[in-house]
Amino acid sequence: MGTVWFVGAGPGDPDLITVKGRDLITRAGAILFAGSLVSKAAMRWAPVGCEIADSKDMTLVDISGWLIAQAAKHETVIRLQTGDPALYGTLIEVVQPLDAAGIPLRVVPGVSSAMASAAAAVESFTLPEVTQTTIFTRVEGRTPMPEGESLAELARHHCTLCIFLSITLLHKVESGLREAGWAEDAPMLVVHKASWPGEERIVRGTLADIKQRCRDAKIVSQAMVIASPALGARGWSELSKSKLYDASFTHRFRRATAPVTTSTDHEETT
């Protein structure tokens, strides 16, 4: 019985797959990729004779059944998923039937569209003394949110919010942020198809106008919505700088070369 590998293909650019993921593709006997979200260009590394199928019209039962059948024939079988398999995918739902069938499996992480969106816009999710927390979430659609996880409740932290799967529900995003006390001029960022060669689009706006700006840009799918007090910091005239690289800060790799000025913070390297 072969091993089924759940591989994160990354956000769209096939070159953003991990080296480990690419190497697995080069020796795969069968690959099932999410064609509606994963670029077929990632198949360019597949060996001749590899069985390749697209899951965009499959049910969960079809997907797990296909993987089980291929594991009976091939040493390496790949389920190629968009972004990272642990985020907003069907990893556990597909894994359970494989466990029941005794199929060995492994997971290879991938680059999330949240990270690709920040990279595309040259933004940071965290800034000293602005926000040190990032929340990955979504707004309620056909899938209900668990108790305590409404956008309004999470947004009250006024930290960075990466809002997945919600571009068609921007009215709910706006409502949740307003309920949480976000200002009308709070900066917003939407990135459509982050990292996809020739298809990526970036829309900037505020809570007051981001929905209209996305409507004008005709962005209705595959978009990351980011709300953060750190957005736009690249253009700020003043920033609170990281203590880790401050000349007055001592850590285990460097002694301070200047007197402490404003902080006694003792951060470690991350």
Q: What is the CATH number of domain 113-235?
A: 3.30.950.10
Of the chain, the percentage scoring pLDDT greater than 90 comes to: 80
Q: What is the pLDDT of residue 142?
A: 83
pLDDT score recorded for residue 259: 74
Q: How far, in whole angstroms, is CA 63 from its chain's centroid?
A: 23
Confidence at residue 262, expressed as pLDDT on a 0 to 100 scale: 53
Contact 116, 15 (CB under 8 A): no
Break the chain into its structural domains and give their ranges: 3-108, 113-235, 240-270
Question: Where do runs of H (alpha helix) occur along 145-199?
Answer: 151-155, 170-179
pLDDT of residue 172: 96
DSSP label of 136: E
Domain 3-108 fold is Cobalt-precorrin-4 Transmethylase; domain 1 (3.40.1010)
Identify whether the C-beta of residue 3 lies closer than 8 Å to the C-beta of residue 76. yes
| pLDDT tens by residue, 40-81 | 888 899 999 999 999 999 999 999 999 999 999 999 999 999
pLDDT of 243 reads: 65
Alpha-carbon distance values, 190 to 112, 185, 196, 233 (Å): 15, 15, 14, 16
Low pLDDT (below 70) residues in the chain: 243-254, 256-258, 260-270
Cα–Cα distances (Å) from 1 to 30, 105, 231, in that order, read 13, 11, 49
Q: Which of 55, 96, 102, 99 is nearest to 78 (CA)?
A: 55
Angle at 30 between CA 24 and CA 32, to 5 degrees: 95
